[in-house]
Structure 1
């Protein structure tokens, strides 16, 4: 079973179409919407974690591309630069996914990139700029 996070970009003419729904119906894939910003009469972006059989996953991704959706293999990710972090914990309060937490045994800020939904809230909150956007 394949499970991957992808960033989808929709043009304004694709927003009203049930493109993502077809991943379930036609390709037997499941998905979790990690982040979505869709504005009517504009473009939209979604970060999805898509899971299913590898063969169906590849077919589903091909379908998205054929439908005019830009598919990026989570082009952005958040990294924590440990040497810059001075453990103020400001980032822990804004993280909606629980990717950033305080390890109670050490009282150090811990970052789990697997839980990160790339919302970038921590980046703007971090006074030492230890939380950074990394573009592949």
Structure 2
């Protein structure tokens, strides 16, 4: 079932981001607006678009989030593999996404200090 959902989420995400999906949405809104006078702009007529504009985005959030989570995980794995190959498996940046927020902040501070130290040493060497 998981694979079936992933496949559906990927296809739905791809389809919803297409120009055709946008064109269909505009067409549906146009048809809804044009039919307003026919239904005398009734509460039911308004409720139709209100319901659709609530339900569809809610479902799409879950589908798109699933796709983004899978894409982000794949990207992390690719970057980890590149770091492993470049650093011989010794890089502190491998599996960074599994660290706690405090550990990420510590690593960010460490990296900032290295960058500042490198830029300071370049500044002093440039002045000599």
* TM-score for the superposition, normalised by structure 1: 0.20
RCO (CA 8 Å, sep 6+): is it higher in 1 or 2?
Answer: 1
Q: Which has the higher helix share?
A: 2
* TM-score for the superposition, normalised by structure 2: 0.21
Larger-Rg structure:
2
